[in-house]
């Protein structure tokens, strides 16, 4: 029997995102998703999770939140889940390469597999796959498109140093 899920739509500077919960965890957050109406009214726990996600995304885009604190349950293979866990270790304002993530998950030769897992991340932004770049420092693919990836990285970039007048 398939578990029930509930959807909500979150308006962000990057467009409308579809959030999905199973009532215990956030299971998906994606771009350009077609409208899907939840079959039944979500229980209180699901509404609270979706509200918390919305509030945390608002704080992130306002520049006040650098870490998300939500229960996550992305569906994937054990390898994919290990990659997504490693992505969460890449801190706000930092980037890592696919090769570095492959090292972190104990599979240094699995750079392409890490790239594939990164591309299948079901919880955009919260699991920060946008922070992963090529070994040469170039931006590589992003499910939301490279323009959105640039915007997210610019949002997280450290503010330039400014001197105060003496």
CA angle 135, 32, 64 (to 5 degrees): 65
For 33-87, the pLDDT digits (tens) are 767 666 667 788 889 999 999 999 999 999 999 999 999 999 999 999 999 999 9
* Separation of alpha carbons 62 and 164, rounded Å: 24
Q: Check residue 29 and give its pLDDT.
A: 96
Angstrom CA distances, 52 to 35, 141, 142, stand at 21, 29, 25
Q: What is the mean pLDDT of residues 17-37?
A: 87
Q: Please indicate whether residue 88 is annotated as part of the active site.
A: no
- Contacts of 113-117 with C-beta under 8 Å, sequence gap 24+, read 113/79, 114/83, 115/140, 115/141, 117/76, 117/79, 117/80, 117/83, 117/84
Dihedral over Cα of 89, 144, 56, 4: its sign: negative
For 104-133, the pLDDT digits (tens) are 999 999 999 999 999 999 999 999 999 999
CATH of region 78-156: 1.10.10.10
Q: Read off the pLDDT band of 166 (50, 70, 90).
A: very low
Residue of higher predicted confidence among 23 and 141? 23
Residue of higher predicted confidence among 35 and 159? 35
Q: Read off the pLDDT band of 163 (50, 70, 90).
A: very low
Task: Determine which one of 90, 126, 127, 129 is catalytic.
Answer: 129
pLDDT at 165 over 60: no
Q: Structural domain boundaries of the chain?
A: 6-61, 78-156
% of the chain residues with pLDDT over 90 = 72
């Amino acid at each position: 029997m398939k578990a029930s899920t509930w959807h909500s739509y979150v308006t962000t500077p990057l467009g409308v995102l579809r959030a999905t919960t199973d009532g215990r965890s956030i299971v998906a957050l994606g771009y350009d998703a077609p409208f899907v109406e939840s079959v039944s009214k979500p229980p209180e726990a699901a509404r609270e999770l979706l509200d918390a996600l919305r509030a945390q995304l608002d704080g992130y885009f306002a520049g006040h939140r650098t870490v998300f604190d939500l229960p996550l349950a992305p569906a994937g293979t054990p390898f994919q889940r290990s990659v997504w866990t490693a992505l969460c270790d890449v801190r706000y304002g930092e980037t890592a390469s696919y090769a570095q993530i492959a090292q972190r998950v104990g599979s240094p030769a699995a750079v392409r597999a890490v790239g594939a897992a990164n591309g299948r991340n079901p919880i955009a932004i919260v699991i920060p796959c946008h922070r992963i770049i090529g070994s040469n420092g170039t931006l590589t693919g992003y499910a939301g498109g490279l323009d959105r990836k640039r915007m997210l990285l610019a949002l997280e970039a450290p503010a330039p140093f400014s001197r105060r007048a003496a």
